Amino acid sequence: MTLQLARGPSARRIGLAPMIDVVFLLLIFFMLAASFEREMSVPISGGIGGGEEYEGPPRLLDIGAETLQLNGQVIDASEVLDAVKSLTHASEDTVILRAGDGADLQRLVDVIAILRGGGLTNLVLVE
């Protein structure tokens, strides 16, 4: 009788096919999970140009970090559309927006969205 020695586990090669499958599954997952939407843009004017004259009552809206002022009078954000519309005769009337110190961009965009949602189309942003 001869004794046979047990050999250690044979060295297996790791197959790359399962790893490639996982990589492709991750690629498909991230492609489906990503959003390919267009960014929203807010059209505003940088000033009155082309020889246009400002007509009507003053419509200066100061946008602060916590407050809104229309022609120097503090107003609530929920009342801004009605207050500005009371000073305009048509939707094309100029409304001047001025962002104050501490006002972030999102607050400015929110106020512009409120005014545009109310039909005001001629918004001018000044420093």
In whole angstroms, how far apart are CA 30 and each of 22, 37, 68? 12, 15, 42
The β-bridge partners of 126 are 98
- Is the model more confident about 41 or about 120? 120
Task: Quote the tokens at residue 40.
Answer: 């929203």
123 class by beta-carbon count within 10 Å (0-12 exposed, 13-18 middle, 19+ buried): buried
pLDDT higher than threshold 70 for residue 5 = no
Domains of the chain and any CATH numbers: 60-126 (3.30.420)
**What pLDDT, on a 0 to 100 scale, did the predictor assign at position 54?**
66
Q: Report which of residues 114 and 39 the model is more confident about.
A: 114
CB 74 within 8 A of CB 67: yes
pLDDT at position 94 is 85
What pLDDT, on a 0 to 100 scale, did the predictor assign at position 22? Answer: 93
pLDDT in tens, 29-63: 988 888 777 666 666 655 555 556 667 778 888 88
For 56-113, write each residue's pLDDT tens digit.
778 888 888 888 888 888 888 888 888 888 888 888 888 888 888 888 888 888 888 8
Look at residue 120 and tell me whether its pLDDT is greater than 80.
yes
Q: Residue 18: what residue type? A: P
